[in-house]
Chains A and B, each alone.
Chain A
Amino acid sequence: MAAIETDALTRRYGEVVAVDSVDLTVEQGEVFGFLGPNGAGKSTLINMLLDYTPPTSGEARVFGHRTRGEAVAIRERVGVLPDAYKLYERLSGRRHLEFVVQARQADDDPDDILDRVGLDPEDAERNAGDYSKGMAQRLVLGMALIGEPDLLILDEPSTGLDPNGIRLMRDIIREEVDRGATVFFSSHILGQVEAVCDRVGIMNEGRLIEVATLDEIRDTIGVGTTLHVTVDQQPDLTLSDLEAMDDVSNVRADGPELTMNLSDSTAKAKVINRLEEGGATVVDFETAESSLEELFAELIDEDADEPEPEVSA
């Protein structure tokens, strides 16, 4: 049974299609990155998974439970860090945690949770109305962890977190996955998903335009690692000889400096060997991972370039 399964899940707001016939499966135990620019429909899809929002058509199941009618069974197994929430400003951080412990009938100790998400026990006594965004985010992450949920749904979890907070969040995600939890991680920033996710799904304008592992996406788009090599003299090779090698493409030369794209970063050793066999000494080399931001932008452009299917009467 999949952790999350949607069939032609659709939500319309008047003329606007926020989520357009999405078919998505997230297996148990995986960390799934859910990507897309702001307004792509990510939060609307999450809202439907948790039955905040009823779908216009199609259906979704979480651990086999239909979102319409079995929402309580779903929420018993899901911890949520929602997007655009607000804390109860007249209640303390600790009271928030106690409320979740009671509502889930869990036996978590609020102090352990505070410690895990790095909140000061003294701050926990203060009213949540005084919390900074980063503190609020830590508190709600802590609330999501209570009761050892089988699925964590994190909607833009790094909002307001400083680099330490982001690292802490990643560590927590890894701990939760080791425990056996599934993580559904939504973000508009690829770099954050890259560090923790096994697979990603990319949403744009309500449609799910890609579901793949990060490696698969790099292959599809044909970018990966960029290799810069500086040689002491011209080797006994042509640029086409290098391009003929596996995993090497787009070789450019600028004096003693060569630049090429590698679809597999381990190909760099082969390239360096080949250059040295050709009689040149490699003075210096440098690799750079193509930014996923570029990748992302490219995918979305590609999607936008596709002509809309024409409707005939």
Chain B
Amino acid sequence: MRDHQLVTMARKDFDDAIRSKTVWALSGALALIAIFATFRVSQAQLPQGFPQRFLPVLVLGGLTQWISWIVCILALIAGYVSIVGERRTGSIKLLLGLPFERAEILVGKVLGRTAVIGVGIAAGFLTMIASILVLVGLTSPLDFLWRFVGMFLATVLLGGVYTTLSVSTSAIVSTRRRAVMAVVALFVVTQAIWTGITQFFYSVFAGGAVPLQPPSWYLFLTYLSPSAAYSRVVSLVVPIARYPGLGLDGVPRRAVQAQQSGAFYLSEYFALLVLLVWVVGSVLVAHSVFRNADLG
């Protein structure tokens, strides 16, 4: 892969995808949810001794789960037709007439679409900071700012993971219909029923239901999904799990247990690695198929 070709491919794809109305509709949804969540936190009853300056960070924590859902949907929708759509319409013939390796097309598209998702996420985050300023107020702006930027970067990474998954899917399948079915399956498996899957594994390998204090290997399984790994990474900058008893959405018991377990594979940095493995793994699988696909 050559840098110049990657950048050319990514820029073309960015210019194309950024003009998609779907992407802007979903970014709008992210912004609306940001306003709503900020409003809820501003109205919440907080436990005794909870530091007031920590309130804006609480908004970020409360949003983690919502963001991971929206970003997942946004990235899957933005990416699933990226390659199969060009194959079906024939515009891929214009690309393939140019000196691009197929790997450059694949990775260039991942980069371009991730940049588009990044813009959508930035729009959502700007709305979020505006509504925090209005509804909650900032007492220690600097402390909040680095957490905010950290969470933004983690969210772009999550967007990158799901964009990679959807663009990879798009490179593997040969019809739009299959692409839709595949990204719906990805959404269901990684977002909706991941916990159910891990519980099934537990019952097979350990027998019975998952106890209240599960073993570390089970916690590790639950953190293998991109959105769970994301929430783990976010806790680096938004350490909401250190305040058990807040009773907010998005702070599951497991987060606290992972925080307390001390196993290296449950650490935030390991979750970062998990996200990178998703990216690299899906690109490698997609390339092995796309490399020899009949694109005529």
Contact = CB atoms under 8 A, between A and B. Distances in A.
Interface of A: 43-44, 47-48, 50-54, 71-72, 75-76, 78-80, 82-88, 90-91, 95-96, 99-100, 102-105, 140, 143-144
Contacts of B20: 90
A88 B91 contact: yes
Contact of A140 (B9, B94, B100, B101): B94
B16 A90 contact: yes
B99 A54 contact: no
Contact of B100 (A43, A47, A103): A103
B4 interface: yes
Interface stretch (B48-56, B188-196, B216-224, B288-296): B288-296
B292 A79 contact: no
A289 to B, nearest CB: 35
B4 A86 contact: no
Interface of B: 4-5, 8-9, 11-12, 15-16, 19-20, 89-91, 93-94, 96-101, 292, 294-296
A86 B294 contact: no
Contacts of B15: 91, 95
A44 B129 CA distance: 55
A96 B89 CA distance: 16
Given A43-B296, A52-B296, A90-B19, A105 B91 contact: no
Contact of B97 (A79, A88, A91, A102): A79
20 contacts: A43-B296, A47-B295, A50-B97, A53-B295, A53-B296, A54-B292, A71-B101, A72-B101, A75-B96, A75-B97, A75-B98, A79-B97, A87-B91, A90-B20, A91-B15, A99-B8, A102-B8, A103-B99, A105-B4, A140-B94
B214 to A, nearest CB: 49
A256 B36 CA distance: 98
Given A52-B93, A91-B15, A105-B4, 11 more contacts: A53-B295, A54-B294, A72-B99, A72-B100, A84-B90, A85-B94, A88-B94, A90-B19, A90-B20, A99-B12, A102-B8
Contacts of A43: 296
Nearest to A155: B93
A48 B4 CA distance: 26
A80 B96 CA distance: 9
Nearest to B96: A52
- Sorted nearest first, the 5 A-B pairs with minimum C-beta distance are A47-B296, A80-B97, A53-B296, A82-B93, A86-B89
B93 A44 contact: no
B93 to A, nearest CB: 4
A80 B93 contact: yes
A78 B97 contact: yes
A142 to B, nearest CB: 12
A91 B16 contact: yes
Contact of A85 (B8, B93, B292, B294): B93
Contacts of A100: 98
A29 B70 CA distance: 56
Contacts of B8: 99, 102-103
A95 B13 CA distance: 11
A105 B294 CA distance: 27
A96 to B, nearest CB: 8
Contact of A86 (B5, B91, B97, B295): B91
A29 to B, nearest CB: 21
B96 A85 contact: no
Contacts of A91: 12, 15-16, 19
Contacts of B96: 50-52, 75
A53 B295 CA distance: 6
Nearest to A13: B294
Contacts of B101: 71-72
Given A54-B292, A99-B12, A76 B99 contact: yes
Given A52-B295, A53-B294, A85 B99 contact: no
Nearest to B19: A90
Contacts of A87: 91, 94
Contact of B91 (A71, A80, A85, A102): A85
Given A52-B295, A53-B296, A104 B98 contact: yes
Among A79, A99, A100, residue most surrounded by chain B Cβ atoms (within 10 Å): A99
B160 to A, nearest CB: 22
A77 to B, nearest CB: 9
A47 B100 CA distance: 15
Contact of B93 (A78, A84, A103): A84
A91 B100 CA distance: 20
Nearest to B5: A103
A100 B9 CA distance: 10
A86 to B, nearest CB: 4
A85 B5 contact: no
Given A84-B93, A95-B15, A75 B99 contact: yes
A84 B4 CA distance: 28
Contacts of A144: 97
B90 A103 contact: no
B106 to A, nearest CB: 14
A18 B16 CA distance: 34
A91 B97 CA distance: 18
Nearest to A90: B19
Nearest to A140: B94
Contacts of A140: 94
Nearest to A100: B98
